[in-house]
Copies of this chain bind each other. A is one copy, B any other.
Amino acid sequence: MIIVMQPDAGDSDIAAVEAKIRAHGLDVHVSRGTERTLIGAIGDERKLDPEMFDPMPGVERSLHILKPYKLVAREWHKASTIVDVRGARIGGSDVQIIAGPCSVETDSQMHAAAAGVATAGARLMRGGAFKPRTSPYAFQGKGVEGLAMLKNAAARYNLPIVTELMDVRMLDTFLEHDVDVIQIGTRNMQNFDLLKEVGKVNVPVILKRGMSATISEWLMAAEYIAAGGNHRIMLCERGIRTFETAYRNVLDVTAVAVLKKETHLPVIVDPSHAGGKAWMVPALSCAAIAAGADALLIEVHPCPTEAWCDADQALSIDEFGGLMQRLRALTQAMGRALSRPNTERHLETIA
């Protein structure tokens, strides 16, 4: 950490800052420039915080030199983490597609969805049983019953399931229902008690980016999970909030490139929530993979116009099939492969 002193800071001001740094067990290095004196703290600066120094007399401002995250940082863990979800490997050379409806509605809807996405090549299935809705009067999800419906439909095609956990009190229920991947949604990215609890279980977690979360805040949220002992974390970019009103969110592909450099964790992109319209999904899916995403999370519904939520952003099964073909060509051009469905395995399961 560097503490920048005001031009008129006196020796006693400098001494007080030095004493505070040493009190935290770090060493001090003072550099007197022509316009400012700088005080450097030598040692593990993660013990310090600018707010400790900024209110002290004579201090102009102070700044971290190191990134605040450690367990999730590539600097400290060079090799890319690959999260293996019952054989579907995310974060390696294969690109994985996770697909399914926004919300679990009925058994028949879920079976049609599972059949459709599995046939088109998705390796995991998504579906929401608990839905975070802006309005208290909107459909809030099928709840526990929905978890069973999702698990049941996905099992026929040997698809691991991904579903959102909103309430820390439901975690045990998620474990009982063998949820394969717990999704932490955008609105809960900094629900720290929830992060701490999923940090204690041995289930992969997809951590979505908050609507206006910086890369640093996002990685610190992941650090909460990692600090609890759960290192099977995947980050999911889903569009950020900006001034633009022509579309719901702005898909931040730069974040994909930056995350691949800053962290060893896999990076997923959700092109469906990013744009908010089904017709944008193909372009955003391609852009995400071209930017380096390890997996996509795509909303697919057997009958989009009848979907109970997010009807305008779900692809039909046919549209999804067409997109998968485009993605196959693209991943190949990028030197990666789109994971092929294990037809033999799920046929066996059905038989």
**Chain A residues proximal to chain B, CB less than 8 Å:** 2, 4, 7, 29, 31, 33-36, 38, 40, 42-44, 46, 49-52, 54-56, 63, 65-66, 68, 75, 132-138, 140, 166-169, 187-188, 190-193, 196, 210-212, 214-217, 220, 223-224, 227, 239-247, 249-258, 261, 274-275, 277-280, 283-284, 286-292, 304-305, 309-314, 329-330, 332-334
Residues of the B chain whose Cβ atoms lie less than 8 Å from the Cβ of A40? 31, 33, 38
Report whether A55 and B311 are in contact in the complex, using a CB–CB cutoff of 8 Å.
yes
Residue contacts A-B, CB under 8 angstroms, 27 given: A2-B2, A2-B65, A4-B65, A31-B40, A31-B42, A35-B66, A51-B312, A55-B278, A55-B304, A63-B63, A140-B192, A166-B192, A210-B211, A212-B212, A212-B243, A215-B246, A240-B242, A244-B255, A245-B245, A250-B254, A253-B287, A254-B284, A256-B283, A283-B290, A289-B290, A290-B290, A290-B291
Q: A137 — nearest CB in chain B belongs to which residue?
A: B46
Report whether B223 and A136 are in contact in the complex, using a CB–CB cutoff of 8 Å.
yes
Copies per assembly = 4
Give the distance in Å from the alpha carbon of A168 to the alpha carbon of B284 in the complex: 37
A-B pairs, 4 with minimum CB distance: A333-B333, A290-B290, A286-B290, A212-B212
Residues of the B chain whose Cβ atoms lie less than 8 Å from the Cβ of A275? 254, 257
Report whether B241 and A257 are in contact in the complex, using a CB–CB cutoff of 8 Å.
no
Give the distance in Å from the alpha carbon of A101 to the alpha carbon of B210 in the complex: 28
Give the distance in Å from the alpha carbon of A24 to the alpha carbon of B65 in the complex: 24
Residues of the B chain whose Cβ atoms lie less than 8 Å from the Cβ of A257? 275, 280, 283-284
Residues of the B chain whose Cβ atoms lie less than 8 Å from the Cβ of A75? 7
With A33-B42, A291-B287: A214-B55 Cβ-Cβ less than 8 Å: no
